[in-house]
Amino acid sequence: MARPEFEIDLPYQRKYMLQTKYQLTEEQFKGLYDEQNGRCAICRAWFNHPTNAHIDHDHETNKVRGLLCGKCNSGLGMFRDNICFLAGAIVYLESNGKTYRSISNRSREWAIEFMRC
């Protein structure tokens, strides 16, 4: 399935926010959007429109990490961008019989190691 094609024309308010909050130009945003093929960096869901892409950034450095869908962006926020909490969630789901797209043994070992944070 090919990604939907959009002409990216960001409204002035969005352009202003990109520049002031994230120090991104419209061209840099378009480049990031194209680099991710119009998809969320975590779950790979298509963005309905470029303006639906949430700009994920490190809250300490303000460095842009990528574009996320609203659910993944909220999820990272709920876990407070903490790798240890995310690893704990992985181990929790695995230990409670979550088998849909089950993670590999290597990923499980990584998650258990990070739980020791």
Residue 109 has pLDDT above 60, yes or no: yes
Please tell me the pTM assigned to this model. Answer: 0.77
Q: What is the CATH number of the domain that holds 49?
A: 3.40.1800.10
pLDDT tens for 58-84 read 988 989 999 999 999 999 999 999 988
How many domains is the chain built from? 2
Question: Does 103 lie in the same domain as 68?
Answer: no
Give DSSP secondary structure letters for 91-108: HHHHHTT--TTPPPHHHH
pLDDT the model gives residue 113? 73
Task: Show the tokens assigned to 68.
Answer: 């996320």
Are both 58 and 92 inside the same structural domain? no
**What CA–CA distance (Å, rounded) separates 65 from 58?**
7
Tell me, yes or no, whether 30 lies in a domain: yes
Distance CA 109, CA 87 (A): 10
- 30 and 64 part of one domain: yes
Q: Are residues 44 and 98 in the same domain?
A: no
Instruction: Please state, for a pLDDT cut of 90, what percent of the chain lies above it.
Output: 45
Domain that holds residue 71: 12-78
Same domain, 87 and 44: no
pLDDT-based confidence at residue 99 (cuts at 50, 70, 90):
low
Average pLDDT across the chain, whole number: 84
Q: Tell me: the pLDDT tens digits for 4-17?
A: 565 566 677 888 88
Q: What is the per-residue pLDDT across 14-39, written as a single tens digit (0 to 9) for each?
A: 888 888 999 999 899 999 999 999 99
In terms of domains, do 18 and 58 share one? yes
Is residue 87 included in any domain, yes or no? Answer: yes
The answer to whether residue 91 is domain-embedded is yes
